[in-house]
Structure 1
């Protein structure tokens, strides 16, 4: 009779290597989605040049947002004290990988590219996530809630701004918004703490800077 082996405990060095691999795959690799692209069944219309550039700029922002989400969650997971919190963060990060792959595919369809500054976005977001996580798991989850609520808001802005007939981008953003709302709800249910002033405002200001830069670069 074969006895099932116990789950392997990862050392700090193992986790460091895992984080490095995730970073390389996110910034330089081609992440593969586990779920089908929501926009695949929508018609791919030919847009005029200004509309195409605008749609590409918005989807580049969303791609950067997913790069940042990967980094934030991995940074938080790296210092999470509770294994359940760490598992929650990494599960959310896996769904963000789907978003990352979908946005990258849509950028290719729009004859565009990801942000040239993705390594910078990733490094900065990982550091912010790790710093947030060091405050404790309640603050860790609170950071997830605030991040996801702000992402929901900017997706709403993009849905209102996209060319009306860009149904592929709209389908992708619609599923992304639903996923982000669920991540926030799950974090709240897991014991998230409300972030103190002025943290949410600083996060919003950093997000605004990222969106302004990523739209073009």
Structure 2
């Protein structure tokens, strides 16, 4: 029986570069699952409402760009092969969210944030640094991040107009997936971050949401 191929650090670095381009280039991300909203009809909305919904979906799209970067950075520096595999699997599942949000933005005649490359770079660096410290910290960072995303999704679901069933279907499925990813990270041995660290993450997240709502 052939043993699994072992990839060198350079091999993984080249793979990450390819994944980075797929994350940041519009239209390059392809979902493995169909969008939860694919069979739902668009509803009429006025211009301020459309712009507000587009702003929310742009925030969520950037959040998924950051999630990709975080997982890819952690996979690059993870010490244990099984942790690296978990990160790569989570990144693949999050691609669905990225593609769904991009599609919804297109339907709303809007576009992703121009700040995505900046936030990608910052998130990748944080993920790689967490992986260098320890796999336990890396997994804990995933859990804390997913909990933060879950709260954002709750807020956005509360802000969406009731008639916008397409955006709602996407965000509800994303919320379920994020809860599962966070729980899996803790079950795999992730540490529970102290409240001051979570507060700092919340502050950074708030800056991201304010910046990407309009641009």
TM-score with structure 2 setting the length: 0.97
2:21 corresponds, among 18, 24, 27, to 24
Query: 1:198: how far off?
Result: 2.1
1:13 corresponds, among 10, 19, 23, to 10
Alignment of 1:1-217 (within 5 A): 4-29=1-26, 30-217=28-215
User: Relative to structure 2, which stretch is displaced further, 146-155 or 194-203?
Assistant: 194-203
CA distance in 1 between partners of 2:211 and 2:31 (Å): 26
CA distance in 2 between partners of 1:5 and 1:136 (Å): 30
CA distance in 1 between partners of 2:183 and 2:69 (Å): 20
CA distance in 2 between partners of 1:175 and 1:148 (Å): 14
Any idea what the Cα deviations from partners look like across 1:112-156, whole Å, max 9, x if unmatched? 000001111111110011111122011111001000000000000
CA distance in 2 between partners of 1:197 and 1:161 (Å): 27
CA distance in 2 between partners of 1:161 and 1:197 (Å): 27
Query: 1:56: how far off?
Result: 0.2
CA distance in 2 between partners of 1:90 and 1:148 (Å): 16
Secondary structure in 1 matching 2:133: coil
CA distance in 1 between partners of 2:44 and 2:7 (Å): 49
Root-mean-square deviation (CA), in Å? Answer: 0.9
